[in-house]
């Protein structure tokens, strides 16, 4: 395809809509394949079918697709008007981690037992906070230069949401929530000096929270102190070994070695290492390119849509999904200590997958709501109907021509000779 053709496709009013949907489908499909490869040994070790974890993830992907379709079809005005209720409901779910329904794993209490499955309410908080920030900051656009209007009520309410997540000792999710707030405030036009102050306060808070015993060990291991097979750097070391073993082309899908119970959380937080081992550098680069395209498509929505609410909410969701992907990759390659965040759309985990796809559905709704995109998509059904009618008429004409014999084929009596009579006459 020529350069002009590529530019024409990119400038199409529906480019964001189709790019977001196609990249999401590709990443989800790759994620399902890698979860199957990375989880089969773990499932067998637990005494289950090698497909048990994969089948569970496939069900979550189906539910996520339904959630994406539903949120993509909801009118934009519903999100704007219901922002407070959505955030309140999300925080209400997060409060369940302080109830008897709470479940703990890996030092975090961030799951709730629903009987038939365990859910992670902090994933709902991410989406609720993104939509709420868009609604509140959009109404304050004229006063966003004043620090009181820029920070209140956005920062105090966001601090409550972060505090509820930190109540379950989940620092990784709290960092992602802070990235959501930063993305929303940046696109809303908050002055840079407030970012400097807020960033400093957040950094001091994270340093203080990192002084707990478990987190301090992870940071010390990341810095290279006392790193051996039994230290907290065990997971990072085996992740790097997996990436190094894969080389350029990988050892082949399903042929990885680190997933044989050497690499903890191979199908979850460290699935990027399995991708690198089995698909090689080209597989990891493909995944990074797909996340880059997804980020570019969301940025395109921010730049093209006239509604400030859409711009701010899309920026918050992009900061969540793309920022979390970058954090996960940075952890796997050793640029950050292990903080326990999954790779969006790829890692195993029902709550994360469903809510990420629901958030992408919200952005798809925004992309469909662009004035030019709305007109183009409305014209598509009429175009398809006209094309079908033309094809049908053309087919009818061809059938009619085939049903009528040419004059040269007619006998003197005006009838068309059959193949059987022709053979008899030749005999």
185-230 pLDDT, tens digit each: 999 998 888 888 887 888 888 777 776 656 666 776 667 655 655 5
Domain membership of residue 10 (yes or no) is: no
Is the predicted pLDDT of residue 399 greater than 90, yes or no?
A: no
Domain membership of residue 48 (yes or no) is: yes
Domain membership of residue 2 (yes or no) is: no
Residues 341 and 396 in one domain: no
For residue range 139-162, what is the model confidence (pLDDT) as tens digits?
988 888 788 877 889 999 999 999
Residues 222 and 143 in one domain: yes
For residue range 87-145, what is the model confidence (pLDDT) as tens digits?
999 999 999 999 999 988 777 888 898 887 889 999 999 999 999 999 999 998 888 87
pTM here?
Answer: 0.86
Residues 220 and 320 in one domain: yes
Domain enclosing residue 37, as ranges: 15-369
Report the pLDDT averaged over residues 322-350.
93
User: What's the pLDDT at 334?
Assistant: 87
Range scoring the smallest mean pLDDT among 64-68, 163-167, 374-378: 374-378
- What's the number of domains the chain is made of? 2
Residues 353 and 385 in one domain: no
User: What's the pLDDT at 141?
Assistant: 87
Of 312 and 147, the structure prediction assigns the larger pLDDT to 312
Residues 354 and 393 in one domain: no
Residues 98 and 182 in one domain: yes
Contact 290, 114 (CB under 8 A): no
Residues 264 and 397 in one domain: no
Residues 276 and 387 in one domain: no
Residues 179 and 214 in one domain: yes
Domain membership of residue 89 (yes or no) is: yes
Domain membership of residue 9 (yes or no) is: no
């Amino acid at each position: 395809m020529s350069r002009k053709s590529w530019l024409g496709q990119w400038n199409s009013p529906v480019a964001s809509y189709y790019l977001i949907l196609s990249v999401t489908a590709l990443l989800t499909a790759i994620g399902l394949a890698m979860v199957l490869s990375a989880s089969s040994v773990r499932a067998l070790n637990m005494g289950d079918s090698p497909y048990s974890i994969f089948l569970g993830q496939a069900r979550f992907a189906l539910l996520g697709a339904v959630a994406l379709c539903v949120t993509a079809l909801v009118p934009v005005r519903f999100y704007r008007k219901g922002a407070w209720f959505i955030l309140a409901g999300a925080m209400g779910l997060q409060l369940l981690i302080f109830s008897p329904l709470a479940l703990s794993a890996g030092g975090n209490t961030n799951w709730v037992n629903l009987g038939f499955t365990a859910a992670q309410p902090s994933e709902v908080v991410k989406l609720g906070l993104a939509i709420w920030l868009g609604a509140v900051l959009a109404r304050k656009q004229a006063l966003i230069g004043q620090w009181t209007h820029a920070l209140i009520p956005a920062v105090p309410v966001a601090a409550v949401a972060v505090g509820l997540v930190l109540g379950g000792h989940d620092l990784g999710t709290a960092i992602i929530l802070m990235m959501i707030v930063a993305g929303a405030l940046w696109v809303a036009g908050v002055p840079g000096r407030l970012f400097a102050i807020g960033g400093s306060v957040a950094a001091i808070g994270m340093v203080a929270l990192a002084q707990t015993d478990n987190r301090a060990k992870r940071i010390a291991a990341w810095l290279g102190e006392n790193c051996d097979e039994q230290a907290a750097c065990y997971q990072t070391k085996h992740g790097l070994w997996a990436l190094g073993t894969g080389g350029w082309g990988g050892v082949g899908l399903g042929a990885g070695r680190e997933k044989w119970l050497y690499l903890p959380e191979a199908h979850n937080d460290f699935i990027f290492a399995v991708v690198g081992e089995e698909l090689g550098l080209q597989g990891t680069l493909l995944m990074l390119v797909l996340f880059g395209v997804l980020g570019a498509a969301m940025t395109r929505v921010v730049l093209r849509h006239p509604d400030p609410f859409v711009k701010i909410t899309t920026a918050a969701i992009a900061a969540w999904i793309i920022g979390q992907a970058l954090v996960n990759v940075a952890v796997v390659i050793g640029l950050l200590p292990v903080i326990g965040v999954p790779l969006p759309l790829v890692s195993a985990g029902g709550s994360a997958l469903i809510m990420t796809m629901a958030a992408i559905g919200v952005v798809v709704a925004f992309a469909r709501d662009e004035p030019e995109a709305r007109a183009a998509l409305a014209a598509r059904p009429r175009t398809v109907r006209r094309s079908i009618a033309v094809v049908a008429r053309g087919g009818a004409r061809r059938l009619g021509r085939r049903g009528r014999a040419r004059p040269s084929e007619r006998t003197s009596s005006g009838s068309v000779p059959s193949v059987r009579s022709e053979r008899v006459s030749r005999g």
